[in-house]
Amino acid sequence: MQFAITTTAVSANPHLKPLVSFPRPSPQHRVRVHPPRHRPNTRASAMASSATQELTITRPDDWHLHLRDGDVMAAVLPHSARHFQRAIVMPNLKPPVTTTARAIAYRDEIMKALPPGSSFVPLMTLYLTDSTSPEEIKIARKSGVVFAVKLYPAGATTNSQDGVTDILGKCLPVLEEMVKQEMPLLVHGEVTDPHVDTFDREKVFIEKILAPLVQKLPQLKIVMEHITTMDAVNFVESCKEGHVAATVTPQHLLLNRNALFQGGLQPHNYCLPVLKRETHRQAIVSAVTSGSRQYFLGTDSAPHDKRMKECSCGCAGIYSAPVALSLYAKVFEEVGALDKLEAFTSFNGPDFYGLPRNTSKIVLRRSPWKVPATYAYGSGVIVPMSTGNTLEWLPSDQPEE
């Protein structure tokens, strides 16, 4: 990857309104940055000067996305389709997507809601329950539409009440069939025992559920979703590459648990798994920006009506789809690892899933843009992550061949 001087001016995104800025010094001379050691990429390039900087990368995918349905889906889908080529779509609707037939119908709804001319591809998932059958896994694989199965421990997060109560006791035949079908298991990694401290739920899940599961079925492909702790980092890196991986969200790279309470209770920073200590955030940043192939982009973008977040019992979830690429670039730039951004956003995910990498490109320009306070949908508004802030990197809206 090479940084080269340019003086071209770049206009701000016309769809978004400005707020606050985080100025950052730009390089004053030509430098060379080595590409990722595990996957050299001679085609990725960047241009920089005090006037502008551009970073061209393979078009990313989002390996953990909530699109909801109805009016909310119609409002949020264009934000993901604008920047991502594909997305693993979460199945925790009401009622949940538990069968291949329902996954196909949900996919049809998504395709109909896409903006004209969009090339976005939804990759569907099934919601695992105590009663899911091995036969349903066979049907899912044959469909060509379902790409993974999602494990929600019952009661762990939004719409998880129908989730699994005993993964090895009640789902072992299904998991064994998933090994045969090479169908990944996507894990919300938290226990729901009320006696376990909220901030320890991920660690205890690894010890009591995930480690025994990997030991029992070492060939099962597992994605530990939205990891939040150094315990998760240590576990993932102790496992065989290609069998256990992790998605990482922008909020868990940028925020620690102080962000929930600074200046009063901050409901729009509340998600599950909950934000953790700064030491955990630093461990995740270090892992993700190291160049390891076991981590890839998964926003966990989760839209909720503002009224459902700002109430006496607010929903968990952060809506990050419109700002995610800008925030990931910020994280990688701050640690001097922009050369490793493309592998994280665009290579590691499809490689793990056994899918081809995208061929189109996207350009991120250093052009400060202001995050809107809200995004409207049919009956209300949704507050995005970083509302009220100015972000440094602006992704292009259209793919570049």
Residues annotated catalytic, as ranges: 64, 66, 150, 188, 226, 300
Number of C-alpha atoms within 13 angstroms, CB side, residue 323? 32
Q: Which residues are paired to 223 by β-bridges? A: 186, 245
Amino acid in position 252? H
Burial pattern 13-36, b for ≥16 Cβ within 10 A else e, equals beebeebeeeeeeeeeeeeeeebb
Sign, CA dihedral 186-188-190-192, equals negative
**Pairing of the two strands 86-89 and 62-65:** parallel
Amino acid in position 399? P
Burial class (CB in 10 A: 0-12, 13-18, 19+), 286: middle
Packed helices 100-113 and 134-143: angle between N→C axes, nearest 10 degrees: 30
What is the DSSP code (8-state) at residue 46? E
| Residue 288: partners with Cβ closer than 8 Å, 6 or more residues away | 248, 253, 295, 331, 344
